[in-house]
Amino acid sequence: MSPPAIIAPSILSADFAALGAACSDLMEYNAHWIHIDVMDGHFVPNITFGAPVVTKIRSHVERPSQKGGKGTFDCHMMIAELMHSPWWLALTASMIGDTNIAQPMKWVKDFKDAGCDLYCFHYEAAISSVAAREPADTKTTRKTSPREVIRYIHECGLQAGIAIKPETPVDVLWEILESEDESERPDMVLVMTVHPGFGGQKFMASELPKVKALREKYPDLNIEVDGGLSEGTIDQAADAGANVIVAGSAVFGAKDPAEVISKLREAVEKRRTGGKL
């Protein structure tokens, strides 16, 4: 049986002028996690917010009492690091030993201090960092691989998630999930079911074979889907094996958000218990 259903409404569709209240309401509506979309305007063509805003909303939501518990802040980091930095900045950074510049790990500590519990970075951002750093002197350049990013997130005391965009095949994840070092294995995989950047897009069922392949190999893994999830698409995602469901417009656009959250949870729970609730 796959892990329990976790409904994580995305606050991208909330009223940004009243985020604190929106988040505390979500807890009242029986959401389990809060999905926080961090966008930098480079990795995706949209900008949202950074750690200071997370700090403010944390004060409206009690911290989870256990790993993955209610109130978990699931931070989806749609941020590029080196990919869009000029090469000379990256090279200078590596020569002066500033390994904090231009690395996907750059924001982990800030987000931890702000109240993040699960730091989910994009595979594509980590890979770009490696590729862009390759030509530099390997003695002074510290390579960043997705496994290294995961280990660092764990060292900082956070759970680690790794996300893939629709363009990325699921196969890239096998060697990461198979790592012999437990600290290099992610706690969650996020399969994007839209092109990241905006809420309210159409669900891409074409991404579900990735979820299915992951679930077949990893019955206990938290597998998150994000983009276009609603009462109309949840059954397909649940059938494929997703258990962590992100929903933005479906929750915030509803007359009764609590009811939507409950229906999404029910659909996932039905699949995992073979129809018995």
Ligand X SMILES: O=C(CO)[C@@H](O)[C@H](O)COP(=O)(O)O
Rounded to the nearest 5°, which phi and psi values hold at 34? Answer: -120, 125
By the rule CB under 6 A, 71 interacts with ligand X: no
161 binds ligand X per the rule CB under 6 A: no
Q: DSSP letter for 197, please.
A: T
* Contact window for ligand X (CB under 6 A) among 53-61, 85-93, 176-184, 221-229: 221-229
State yes or no: residue 250 binds ligand X (CB under 6 A): yes
Residue 94 binds ligand X (CB under 6 A) = no
Site string (168-207) toward ligand X, x via CB under 6 A: --------------------------x-xxxxxx------
* 264: amino acid identity, one letter: L
**Residue 138 CB partners (closer than 8 Å, separation 6+):** none
The amino acid sitting at 222 is N
166 forms part of the interface with ligand X (CB under 6 A): no
Alpha-carbon distance 218 to 154, whole Å?
Answer: 20
Which residues in 25-44 contact ligand X (CB under 6 A)?
35, 37
Active-site residue set? 37, 226
Element (H, E) at 210: helix 208-217
Q: Give least dist CB 253 to ligand X, A.
A: 8
**Shortest separation between residue 164's beta carbon and ligand X, angstroms:** 12
Beta carbon of residue 7, minimum distance to ligand X (angstroms, whole number): 11
Give how many residues touch ligand X by CB under 6 A. 22
Measured from the CB atom, is 132 or 244 closer to ligand X?
A: 244
Kindly tell me the sign of the dihedral angle through the C-alpha atoms of 25, 26, 27, 33: negative
Name all contacts of 200-204 with Cβ < 8 Å and 24+ positions apart.
200/13, 200/248, 200/249, 201/227, 201/228, 202/228, 203/227, 203/228, 203/229, 203/230, 203/233, 203/236, 204/166, 204/228
Taking CB under 6 A as the rule, does residue 227 contact ligand X?
Answer: yes
Minimal distance in Å, beta carbon 45 to ligand X? Answer: 10
